[in-house]
Amino acid sequence: MTIPATVPVLGWAWDDLLFLGLAGILLGAALLVVLGRDIIHSGLWMMLCFGALAGVYALLGAPLVAVAQVLVYVGAISVLVLFAIMLTQSKAGPLRLVFHRQAWVAAIASIVLFALFVVVVAEGDWPQRAAEVTRTATDQLARLLFNDYVLPFEGVGVLLLAAVIGGVYLAKRDPGQGGSL
């Protein structure tokens, strides 16, 4: 059985359908992260949002970035965030107001920001508006990463070590201080 060249009923290219589906999931999940009342659900929607973004990366021809997105965001950061949520849930927390009282100002600000983005994208003098997506060759990426970018690469390694040590230091309980966390 062969897959038809375009989507059977709609007549779109498969990539367009994939893009629309992933973009819909991405934006819907992001909105639920921001608007949801229960913060645990927000954390779970964030995982879905990051997974859809990994799909968009794959669509853009960057497979290594997509895999790293799944490993780092869906796998590591989301779990970290969920643990932090569970450590900081107070009984009164979820029942009370989720947003600040001035949330409508934030809504206006973000809508204005999005309108600005639309204007910039529409008016900007971009090099190529529509083109074939260029795929990233992973062997070239590795060669670039370990030749031209080797100093930033090592710097990122040191930064991650510092972040891990700093995180442990900040979050560990002082020996003198009791408390039940």
Partner 1 sequence: MSGSLDAYLLLAGALFSIGVFGFLARRNAIAMLMSIELMLNAVNLAIVTFGAFVPALTTHASVIALMVMAVAAGEATVGLAIVIAIFRNRRTPLVDEYDAMRE
Token output for 143: 């060669």
For the segment 120-159, give every residue that binds partner 1 (CB under 8 A).
121-122, 126-137, 140-141, 144-145, 149, 152-153, 156, 159
Residue numbers 61-90 binding partner 1 by CB under 8 A:
61-62, 64-65, 68-69, 72-73, 76-77, 80-81, 84-85, 87-90
167 binds partner 1 (CB under 8 A): yes
Site for partner 1 in 34-63 (CB under 8 A): 34, 39, 42-43, 46, 49-50, 53, 56-57, 59-62
Write out the binding residues for partner 1, residues 1-30 only, by CB under 8 A.
12-13, 15-16, 18-20, 23, 26-27, 30
Contact predicate 56/16, CB 8 Å: no
150-171 and 138-146 are packed helices; what angle lies between their axes, rounded to 10 degrees? 80
In the complex, what is the shortest distance from the CB of residue 1 to partner 1, in angstroms, rounded to a whole number?
24
* Binding test (CB under 8 A) with partner 1, winner from 3, 9, 95, 97: 97
Cβ 8 to partner 1 shortest distance, Å = 18
- 91 near partner 1, judged by CB under 8 A: no
With a CB cutoff of 8 Å and minimum separation 6, the contacts of 6 are 12, 13, 14
Q: How far apart are CA 41 and CA 44, in angstroms?
A: 5
**Residue 153: CB atoms within 10 Å:** 11
Q: Taking the CB of residue 52, how many other CB atoms lie within 10 A of it? A: 19
| Residue 147 amino acid letter | N
Alpha carbon distance 37, 45 (integer Å): 12
Name the residue nearer to partner 1 (CB basis): 1 or 115: 115
